[in-house]
Amino acid sequence: MAGSIAISVEGGIARLVLTNPERRNAISSTMWRGLIAFAQDAAHRSDIRVAVLRGEGDLAFSGGADISDFDTARSDASGAQSYDDLVEQACSAIEGLACPTIALVKGACVGAGAALAASCDMRIAADDAFFAIPAARLGLGYDPRGMARALRVFGSQGARHLFFTAERLTAARAHAIGAVDVLIPAAEAEATAERTLQRIAENAPLTLKAAKLAIRAAETGSQALLGEARRATGAANASADYREGRLAFAEKRAPRFSGS
């Protein structure tokens, strides 16, 4: 199966690159499984403070699910459900990462690629990027779990536009409705994303984890996540990093957080 997820970790930053340039970084079943495997590995690591997802090159974050999968993995209703389950598992795995996640969107961000970008906590987009969900042009039903995610990120009217018209939503429009956090000229997108990643990586990881859990609990209404958020908040307040933060503030220097 074509495509892969190129993964590197350095300086607290995990970089995941959707690598399938011949198909505009379309995401194959192998790549969805690679995202799940990364999330499972990251759950046991302390050296990842922030993760960034992007597509290889400048033409596309992702052109969507690799349609070459469809004749075998999604040829009937049963296969479509299994495929949707795989996509949802991968998107939920990215959402469930303890660290903040950023999608760096350059060029096309289409279909399942848009779903993956929506699974990240933040989106930094080049001004020539666009989002599109062409399900209505393919005649396929869109998983309600993915629809809930689209509603959270693109809002009610943005989701209607994407699904009913199957037309492009420009990065500028996505920024205006709050789906894109930072809109930047294409030539500056890399540097802007890097500054944001470095800033997050310098912050207290236990605080970031607690904040992410609290945000997700509020968004979803999940009592389980709320319980996790309360425990994570208590852990942050009892941490050595909290003591280091107070000491650094008093000494007027940058804090050095260890994640403990």
Question: How distant, in Å, are the alpha carbons of 58, 120, 136, 217, 218 from that of 225?
Answer: 36, 17, 34, 5, 9
> What is the full DSSP assignment across 131-169?
EE--HHHHTPPPPHHHHHHHHHHHHHHHHHIIIII---E
Spell out the CATH class of 4-201. alpha beta
Residue 75 has pLDDT above 60, yes or no: no
Helices (H), ranges, 13-143: 29-42, 70-73, 77-95, 112-118, 135-138
pLDDT band at residue 183 using 50, 70 and 90 as cut-offs: very high
Distance CA 127, CA 227 (A): 39
pLDDT mean over 116-123: 98
- Give the pLDDT confidence score for residue 138 in this predicted structure: 87
Average pLDDT over the chain reads: 94
Tokens representing 54?
A: 């992007």
- Residue extents of the structural domains in the chain: 4-201, 205-250
pTM assigned to the model: 0.93
Query: What average pLDDT does this structure show over 203-221?
Result: 96
